[in-house]
């Protein structure tokens, strides 16, 4: 009885909140736009098109939603128990005549029910999106509710239950939310490792994405439009193993949990007492301390606070665990570096850098989402922010010291990747390490994009009411950034904050990295935006009790001086100059085509030349090529001689040739023929 009441109270508390409304809106909106804008996501397979509301696409999309749900699980199940400890209400609750099982399982069932209620907005939005008036009818097949129910009950629901149970167990035992975050990061890392590796079994993927992909890879378009994966074989094994693991952890958590807080005596209490006594004897209480505030005081304060923030990160167990998780993901990426046809390539530096980028891109996003919350909200979590904020320390020191600690985490993860890559190269007998390329492309060019995203994450936490909302704002922004091209048609590089929108390939003929030039300009452009965000973080930084964002924006008016205007005008000037330069090179000097423009050109090409599809064409029987490559001029000169033979039963009076649209044809001739067009 008590368990049911606790579960209902927890369900009402967790489901009717601002964060639940935002998460439900996010899941509903993404799913709705996915089907309503289905022409952008329609895939093909052997035999034709795969419809956007086919069982295959529904299952695949709900697996993606299950991966996205890993970000929001700690906001529900982890907080269900931790909120009692954080508010110091646990002692009162534990004094009541309530059983341990009623308390634990009541909290878990209620928070899990609220989470399922919120994420169910995803398949509902997907279903309703098919009835959008502007949806393309050719992308849809018969809308079957059973397909949505099957995908929800087999792919999404079991995954959410497993992850929730495991994270609930972790946070209940550790009584720390950061370990819940690390649990989510570990799940994402496990998914990435299985996806990148060719040796790890799909059973290790809690989201079942690898198993789903392997079982449906060779389905025809007709199969994908009609068939569903039954709950048997590898699907049943994956679900059974993970549900069993989560149930076992819940049982262990029940036996490990206690309403009593055990007394813990310090292991070094005697030494600590001796040190404290010596410190008291060495300090005179009659000394008159006169604080000195000079031009160098801010520098000393910055170094001191930065040291505290860095040591707090480096000495923490979660940081060590995070490095271990990153190492495992990198190891899976390095061991699965196939190029084509399952053939392993040599450990060239450019391939290792690509493997680092492929393995860590999503991992670093997750780290930024969770670890930024821990660093920015540390003082408020431990209830001593008013003491820290009362010190004579300017806001910029708090902002920059925390930002430096966050950047150090990303730098450490990327550095681990580079060290692992170099170790693998040396172990394979490869000597051409190209350390300079590791420094330039790995530690500087690649990392700086995440520095900008770290600043953005800090900004979201400064304007948020709590850490969960800050995480949610960042996740929503990243989701919109990833899906902006397909859903909203936003694909210009000037509108993709912090993301490397210019492809800079690496090859043996491109050693001087000349393609990086455009990426550097783009980083200067987004660097100016990051400077403006830093200024806003400084101006909106809340000291003491958390103030409303509206009140903090009002206080900005007081700081409108000539000095602030001058400091803000410099990044604004860089923003407009660099943005204009990029736009001029992208849209004026070169012909800029969107994805929609390219699709339109393909459509026009097909309409124009479809009439020649059935014409007899000769077969190429011999080829002689003379090729001159000029990598520094970005130019290829080719002389091609082909021998054509008519192997059809009809005479051929016309031959159609196709070549890249940006090619310059110097000479084109065919023996005994005349060039018509």
Q: Which residues contact 84 (CB under 8 A, 6 or more apart)?
A: 90, 93
Assess contact for 40 and 127: CB atoms under 8 A. no
Mean per-residue pLDDT, 575-589: 89
d(CA 205, CA 322): 18
Render pLDDT for 409-451 as a digit per residue (tens, 0 to 9): 888 888 888 888 888 888 888 888 888 888 888 888 888 888 8
- CA torsion angle 382 384 385 388 (round to 10): -130
Give the pLDDT confidence score for residue 162 in this predicted structure.
92
Map residue 340 onto helix, strand or coil: coil
State the pLDDT confidence band at 263, using cuts at 50, 70 and 90: very low
Q: What tokens appear for 443 in the block?
A: 């530690």
Residue 426, number of CB atoms within 10 A of its CB: 12
Look up residue 97 and give its DSSP letter. S
DSSP-based helix, strand, coil % in the chain, nearest 5: 65, 5, 30
d(CA 348, CA 351): 5
State the pLDDT confidence band at 39, using cuts at 50, 70 and 90: low
d(CA 620, CA 652): 14
Does the pLDDT value for residue 374 go beyond 70? yes
d(CA 114, CA 251): 22
Higher pLDDT, 60 or 514: 60
Assess contact for 475 and 368: CB atoms under 8 A. no
How far apart are the two ends of the chain, measured CA to CA in Å? Answer: 85
Task: Kindly tell me the burial class for residue 428, based on how many C-beta atoms sit within 10 Å of its own C-beta (0-12, 13-18, 19 or more).
Answer: exposed
State the pLDDT confidence band at 289, using cuts at 50, 70 and 90: low
Give the pLDDT confidence score for residue 607 in this predicted structure.
80
Render pLDDT for 356-366 as a digit per residue (tens, 0 to 9): 887 787 778 87
In the chain, the percentage of residues whose pLDDT exceeds 90 is 4
Q: Which among 640, 189, 618 is positioned nearest to 370, based on CA atoms?
A: 189
Does the pLDDT value for residue 266 go beyond 70? no
Does the pLDDT value for residue 1 go beyond 70? no
Does the pLDDT value for residue 280 go beyond 70? no
d(CA 195, CA 198): 8
d(CA 15, CA 111): 8
Give the pLDDT confidence score for residue 36 in this predicted structure.
75
Mean per-residue pLDDT, 343-352: 76
Higher pLDDT, 294 or 379: 379
Give the pLDDT confidence score for residue 613 in this predicted structure.
75
Does the pLDDT value for residue 527 go beyond 80? yes
Assess contact for 239 and 164: CB atoms under 8 A. no
CA–CA distance from 412 to each of 102, 341, 370, 378 (Å)?
43, 34, 16, 21
Residue 84, number of CB atoms within 10 A of its CB: 18
Highest mean pLDDT among 272-286, 289-303, 528-542, 659-673: 528-542
Give the pLDDT confidence score for residue 117 in this predicted structure.
92
Pairing of strands 619-630, 635-645: antiparallel
Q: What tokens appear for 355 in the block?
A: 């493997």
d(CA 161, CA 144): 25
Asked which of 206-220, 241-255, 519-533, 593-607 is least confident by mean pLDDT, the reply is 593-607
Q: Which residues contact 430 (CB under 8 A, 6 or more apart)?
A: 346, 347, 348
As separate numbers, helices (DSSP H) first and strands (DSSP E) second, the chain gives 28, 4
Task: Kindly tell me the burial class for residue 290, based on how many C-beta atoms sit within 10 Å of its own C-beta (0-12, 13-18, 19 or more).
Answer: exposed
Q: Which among 410, 419, 413 is positioned nearest to 448, based on CA atoms?
A: 410
Give the pLDDT confidence score for residue 309 in this predicted structure.
83
Q: What tokens appear for 270 in the block?
A: 């005697």
Assess contact for 100 and 193: CB atoms under 8 A. no
d(CA 592, CA 46): 33
Give the pLDDT confidence score for residue 325 in this predicted structure.
80
Residue 573, number of CB atoms within 10 A of its CB: 11
d(CA 514, CA 222): 46
Assess contact for 222 and 47: CB atoms under 8 A. yes
d(CA 213, CA 64): 12
Assess contact for 82 and 175: CB atoms under 8 A. yes
Q: What tokens appear for 150 in the block?
A: 């099957």
Which residue ranges make up each domain of the chain? Answer: 2-256, 296-598, 615-677
Assess contact for 310 and 404: CB atoms under 8 A. yes
Write down the pTM of the prediction.
Answer: 0.75
Q: What tokens appear for 326 in the block?
A: 């990153």
Mean per-residue pLDDT, 500-522: 71
State the pLDDT confidence band at 337, using cuts at 50, 70 and 90: low
Give the pLDDT confidence score for residue 577 in this predicted structure.
92
Assess contact for 64 and 212: CB atoms under 8 A. no
Mean per-residue pLDDT, 507-536: 80
Mean per-residue pLDDT, 624-642: 81
Higher pLDDT, 220 or 675: 220
Map residue 43 onto helix, strand or coil: strand
Phi/psi for 48 (5° steps) reads 140, -160
Q: HEC states along 389-444?
A: HCCCCCHHHHHHHHHHHHHHHHHHHHHHHHHHHHHHHHHCCCCCCCHHHHHHHHHH
Higher pLDDT, 488 or 551: 551
Render pLDDT for 85-101 as a digit per residue (tens, 0 to 9): 777 777 777 777 778 78
Q: What tokens appear for 66 in the block?
A: 């299950």
E-only strand ranges, 73-183? none
Task: Kindly tell me the burial class for residue 347, based on how many C-beta atoms sit within 10 Å of its own C-beta (0-12, 13-18, 19 or more).
Answer: buried
């Amino acid at each position: 009885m008590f368990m049911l009441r606790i579960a209902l109270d927890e369900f009402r508390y967790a489901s009717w909140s601002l964060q639940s409304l935002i998460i439900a809106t996010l899941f509903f909106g993404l799913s709705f736009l996915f089907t309503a804008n289905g022409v952008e996501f329609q895939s093909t397979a052997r035999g034709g098109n795969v419809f956007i509301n086919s069982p295959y696409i529904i299952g695949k999309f709900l697996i993606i939603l299950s991966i996205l749900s890993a970000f929001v699980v700690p906001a529900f199940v982890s907080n269900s128990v931790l909120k009692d400890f954080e508010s110091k209400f646990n002692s009162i609750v534990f004094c009541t005549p309530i059983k341990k099982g009623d308390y634990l399982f009541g909290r878990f069932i209620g928070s899990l029910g609220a989470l399922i209620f919120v994420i169910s907005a995803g398949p509902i939005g997907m279903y309703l999106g098919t009835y959008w008036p502007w949806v393309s009818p050719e992308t849809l097949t018969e809308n079957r509710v059973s397909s949505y129910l099957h995908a929800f009950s087999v792919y999404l629901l079991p995954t959410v239950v497993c992850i929730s149970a495991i994270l609930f167990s972790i946070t209940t035992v550790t009584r720390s939310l950061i370990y819940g975050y690390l649990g989510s990061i570990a799940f994402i890392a496990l998914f990435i490792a299985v996806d990148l590796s060719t040796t790890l079994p799909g059973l290790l993927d809690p989201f079942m994405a690898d198993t789903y992909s392997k079982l449906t890879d060779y389905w025809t378009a007709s199969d994908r439009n009609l068939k569903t994966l039954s709950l048997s074989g590898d699907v049943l094994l994956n679900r059974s193993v993970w549900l069993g693991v989560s149930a076992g952890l819940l049982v262990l958590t029940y036996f490990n949990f206690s309403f009593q807080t055990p007394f813990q005596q310090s292991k070094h209490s005697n030494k600590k007492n001796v040190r404290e006594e010596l410190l008291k004897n060495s300090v005179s209480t009659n000394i008159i301390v006169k604080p000195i505030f000079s031009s160098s005081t801010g520098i000393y304060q910055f170094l001191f606070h930065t040291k505290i923030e860095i040591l707090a990160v480096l000495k923490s167990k979660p940081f060590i665990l995070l490095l271990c998780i990153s190492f495992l993901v990198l190891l899976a990426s390095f061991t699965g570096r196939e190029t084509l046809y399952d053939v392993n390539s040599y450990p060239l530096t450019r391939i290792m850098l690509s493997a680092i980028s492929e393995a860590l891109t999503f991992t670093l996003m997750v780290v930024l989402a969770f670890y930024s919350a821990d660093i920015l909200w540390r003082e408020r979590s431990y209830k001593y922010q008013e003491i820290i904020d009362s010190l004579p320390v300017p806001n910029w020191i708090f902002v920059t010291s925390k930002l430096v600690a966050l950047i150090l985490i990303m730098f450490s993860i990327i550095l681990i990747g580079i060290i692992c890559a170099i170790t693998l190269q040396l172990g394979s007998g490869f000597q051409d390490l190209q350390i300079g390329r590791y420094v330039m492309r790995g530690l500087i060019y690649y990392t700086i994009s995440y520095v900008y995203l770290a600043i953005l994450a800090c900004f979201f936490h400064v304007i948020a009411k709590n850490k969960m909302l800050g995480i949610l704002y960042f996740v929503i922004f990243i989701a919109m950034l990833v899906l902006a091209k397909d859903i909203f048609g936003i694909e210009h590089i000037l509108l993709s904050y912090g993301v490397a929108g210019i492809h800079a390939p690496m090859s043996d003929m491109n050693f001087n990295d000349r393609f990086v030039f455009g990426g550097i300009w783009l980083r200067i452009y987004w660097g100016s935006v990051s400077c403006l965000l830093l200024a806003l973080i400084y101006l909106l930084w809340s000291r003491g009790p958390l103030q409303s964002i509206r009140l903090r924006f009002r206080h900005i008016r007081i700081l409108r001086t000539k000095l602030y205007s001058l400091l803000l005008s410099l990044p604004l000037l860089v923003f407009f100059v660099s943005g204009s330069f990029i736009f001029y090179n992208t849209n004026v000097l070169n012909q800029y085509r969107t994805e929609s423009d390219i699709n339109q050109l393909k459509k026009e090409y097909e309409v124009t030349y479809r009439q020649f599809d059935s014409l007899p064409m000769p077969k190429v029987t011999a080829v002689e090529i003379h090729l001159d490559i000029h990598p520094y001029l970005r130019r290829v000169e080719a002389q091609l001689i082909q021998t054509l033979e008519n192997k059809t039963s009809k005479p051929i009076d016309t031959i159609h040739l196709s070549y890249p649209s940006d090619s310059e044809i110097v000479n084109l001739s065919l023996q005994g023929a005349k060039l018509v067009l």
